Amino acid sequence: MSQVPTLWKVFLGLSLICLLGCVLTWFVLLTNICSNPRQANAATQNTNPYSCHGATVFITPLERDLLDWLGPVGSIFLVIENVIIIAIVIRMHKAGAI
């Protein structure tokens, strides 16, 4: 891996950290979402209905946005990470390290 520039290693590390952050956030969100209140509460902003295993719970707008966007954002980081890995492998192959 010594033939690979440091910048590519940094990009790979950052994309891996972002991907793991998305996965961890998704896991925490989904393990806690069913414990939200069963009635809307404007004081805590739990106003968006969400079906959780047949029960309707009310989630906050932030939780709704995370549910909508964590999957696509995580997928984008996965694609970026794969592109960086492919670029590193091609560079190492051209340098004769593989």
pLDDT per residue of the chain (98 residues) written in tens, 0 to 9: 467 778 888 888 898 999 999 999 999 999 999 999 999 999 999 999 999 999 999 999 999 999 999 999 999 999 999 999 898 888 888 877 66
pLDDT of 2:
60
39 assigned to some structural domain: yes
3-state secondary structure 19-72: HHHHHHHHHHHHHHHHHCCCCCECCCCECEEEEECCEEEEECHHHHHHHHHHHH
32 assigned to some structural domain: yes
How many domains would you assign to the chain? Answer: 1
Which value, to the nearest 10 degrees, does the dihedral of the CA atoms of residues 65, 69, 71, 74 take? -130
Residue 1, classed as helix, strand or coil, is coil
The answer to whether 1 touches 80, Cβ cutoff 8 Å, is: no
Beta-bridge partners for 52 = 55
1 assigned to some structural domain: no
Residue 22 lies in domain: 6-94
56 assigned to some structural domain: yes
